């Protein structure tokens, strides 16, 4: 297993000590990162002690070390999964050739764009979540938020390492620009749409970590198949951290649903006691699920075809040998697309449908999460069921973006859609109500009334553990 240098200013397992030029470049970027964190990271909690998990190694368990740390002192490091000996390219036009440890010239621009796009989402999410600490429903949840934020910061480091190491002066410029764009900024927004949407409440946060971080899982998994080995190994390790983000989301939404159901079961009106009604939860899910589906890009995409052909981005679990045609030249993908007032079948050559395939894997995964929430509603004898919106609903990218669809996926005209908008998506009144529920709870072991406690604390700590120590 690779050696992790924990004593270095930038902890790493990539031998930074021996690469003086790279070390100098990264050490120059580091203060800019810290300034960015202080300007746009979690507001007002930088002097507090947070019980955080820090990566200290890439082996099993080695990356899950817990201790109190002030966020600006979190040891953001560079960790790559260990290399696979003699790895060969396993899909696309270069199948069978040796993997690349450097960037082939003709792929430079495409690869840099993928890395920059991935990198851009990480700081964006931290910016979006900046104010949530103030209204945390418990110390347990506040810690989770900061854990996610710190790790997204590390994911930015991971992409910046690649830019600095393999893309010369262009890469350094891109690394600087990653700290200059701002989520939601009119002049200099983040690259992808969902990362410019405001996250004002914890319901948004939990929906985001359920659905948007899950896009992260699928995109990272596709990049982990890459023939450019440093990218494959970096994203492989990022996936280990991503699991916690998605869990935070699934459990968070689940605890909101559970609390609401419990109150309903006891004959209470959730609205009268500061809890969040299920129809509002459904509308937030509709919003974040559809925005996250847009993150897969167009279902019919020449960009996606090129990325696959050149071996930069594979299918989900491509390396597990589950696809019969690793060149993806023989088959096509059938999609129903809108044409005027009806749907017609379209055949998309498989390579051009790579985003559609990845989206389908994602949707199946989301469906499993929704089913788990519904099993809880069933157990509590509540009739309401959460429904994952159709992949056609409320789309701004791809083959469904030109028409209007209901959450069930039926084609409707714009007038009909607009008349139902507030049934399907959060209204201003919903937002005002959810915001009114957001009260800070800072006593260890206590939780806001709109969310159930989790079964246990993180790292097996008791629920009344002091997950945050205020200065």
In the complex, the residues that contact ligand BYC under the rule CB under 6 A are 114, 117-118, 121-122, 125, 152, 192-193, 212-213, 215-216, 219, 294-298, 301, 303-304, 355, 397
Q: CB nearer to ligand BYC: give 121 or 138.
A: 121
Binding-site member from 127, 141, 204, 213 for Fe ion (CB under 5 A): 213
Q: Supply the minimum distance, in Å, between the C-beta of residue 20 and Fe ion.
A: 29
Contacts of 371 (CB under 8 A, 6+ apart): none
Q: Which is nearer to ligand BYC, 197 or 255 (CB)?
A: 197
Nearest approach in angstroms of CB 471 to Fe ion is 27
Residue 67 pairs with which residues in a beta bridge? 52
User: Segment contacting Fe ion (CB under 5 A): 10-18, 155-163, 195-203, 422-430?
Assistant: 155-163
Residue located via tokens 């690394």: 175
| Beta carbon nearer to ligand BYC, 13 or 125 | 125
Which contacts of 61-68 are long-range, i.e. CB under 8 A and separated by 24 or more positions? 62/4, 63/237, 63/240, 63/241, 64/459, 66/458, 66/459, 68/469
**Pick from ligand BYC, Fe ion, none: which does 226 bind, CB < 5 to 8 A by kind?**
none
Instruction: State both tokens at 342.
Output: 């009806």
Q: Interface with Fe ion includes 127 (CB under 5 A)?
A: no
Containing 467, the helix (H) or strand (E) segment is: none
Three state DSSP letters for 273-341 = HCCCCHHHHHHHHHHHHHHHHHHHCCCCCHHHHHHHHCCCCCCCCHHHCCCCCCCCCCCEEEEEEEECC
| Pick 222 or 463: Cβ nearer ligand BYC | 222
CB of 400 to ligand BYC, least distance (A): 12
Assess 245 for contact with Fe ion (CB under 5 A).
yes
Minimum distance of ligand BYC from residue 167's CB (angstroms) = 15
Q: Is 413 strand, coil or helix?
A: coil
Q: Look up residue 330 and give its two tokens.
A: 């023989």
- Specify the residue, 249 or 270, whose C-beta has the smaller distance to ligand BYC: 249
Range in contact with Fe ion (rule: CB under 5 A) among 114-122, 136-144, 177-185, 289-297: 114-122
- Contact between residue 69 and residue 12 where contact means Cβ atoms under 8 Å apart: no
Q: In angstroms, what is the minimal distance from the CB of 85 to ligand BYC?
A: 27
Residue 235 interaction partner, one of ligand BYC, Fe ion, none, beta carbon < 5-8 Å per kind: none
Q: How far apart are CA 259 and CA 257, in angstroms?
A: 5
Identify the CA nearest to 326 among candidates 87, 95, 84. Answer: 95
The answer to the question of residue 155 lying near Fe ion (CB under 5 A) is: yes
Q: Which of 295, 297, 199 is nearest to 249 (CA)?
A: 199
**Interface residue list for Fe ion (CB under 5 A):** 122, 152, 155, 213, 216, 242, 245
């Amino acid at each position: 297993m690779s050696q992790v240098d924990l004593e270095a200013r930038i902890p790493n397992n990539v031998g930074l000590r021996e690469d003086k030029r790279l070390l100098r470049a990264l050490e120059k970027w580091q203060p800019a990162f810290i300034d960015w964190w202080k300007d746009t990271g979690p507001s007002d909690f930088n002097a507090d002690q947070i019980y955080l998990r820090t990566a200290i190694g890439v082996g099993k368990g080695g990356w899950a070390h817990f201790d109190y740390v002030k966020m600006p002192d979190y040891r953001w490091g560079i960790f790559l999964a260990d290399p696979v000996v003699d790895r060969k390219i396993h899909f696309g036009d270069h199948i069978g050739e040796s993997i690349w440890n450097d960037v082939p010239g003709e792929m430079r621009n495409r690869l840099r764009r993928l890395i920059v796009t991935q990198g851009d989402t990480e700081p964006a999410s931290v910016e979006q979540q900046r104010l949530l600490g103030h209204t945390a429903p418990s110390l347990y949840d506040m810690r989770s938020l900061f854990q996610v934020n710190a790790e997204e910061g590390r994911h930015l480091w991971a992409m910046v390492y690649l830019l600095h190491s393999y893309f010369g002066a262009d890469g350094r410029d891109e690394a600087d620009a990653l700290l200059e764009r701002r989520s939601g900024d009119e002049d200099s927004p983040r690259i992808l749409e969902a990362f410019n949407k405001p996250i004002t409440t914890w319901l948004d946060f939990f929906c985001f970590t359920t659905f948007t971080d899950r896009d992260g899982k699928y995109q990272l998994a596709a990049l982990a198949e890459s023939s450019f080995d440093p990218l494959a190994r970096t994203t492989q390790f990022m996936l280990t951290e991503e699991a916690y983000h998605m869990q935070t989301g699934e459990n968070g939404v689940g605890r909101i649903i559970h609390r609401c159901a419990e109150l309903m079961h006891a004959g209470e009106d959730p609205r009268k006691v500061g809890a969040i009604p299920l129809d509002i939860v459904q509308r937030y899910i509709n919003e974040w699920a559809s925005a996250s589906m847009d993150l897969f890009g167009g279902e019919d995409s020449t960009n996606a075809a090129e990325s696959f052909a050149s071996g930069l981005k594979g299918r989900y679990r491509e390396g597990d040998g589950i696809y019969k045609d690793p060149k993806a030249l023989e088959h096509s993908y059938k999609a129903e697309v809108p044409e005027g007032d009806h749907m017609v079948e379209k055949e998309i050559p498989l390579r051009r449908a790579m985003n559609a395939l990845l989206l389908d894997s994602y949707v199946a995964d989301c469906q499993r999460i929704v089913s788990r929430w519904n099993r809880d509603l069933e157990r509590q004898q509540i009739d309401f069921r959460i429904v994952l919106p159709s992949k056609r609903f409320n789309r701004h990218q791809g083959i469904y973006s030109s028409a209007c669809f209901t959450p069930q996926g039926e084609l409707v005209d714009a007038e009909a859609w607009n008349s139902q908008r507030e049934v399907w998506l959060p209204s201003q009144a919903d937002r005002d109500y959810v915001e009114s529920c957001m009260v800070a709870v800072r006593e260890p072991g206590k939780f806001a009334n709109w969310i159930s406690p989790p079964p246990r604390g993180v790292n097996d700590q008791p629920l009344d553990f002091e997950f945050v120590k205020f200065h």
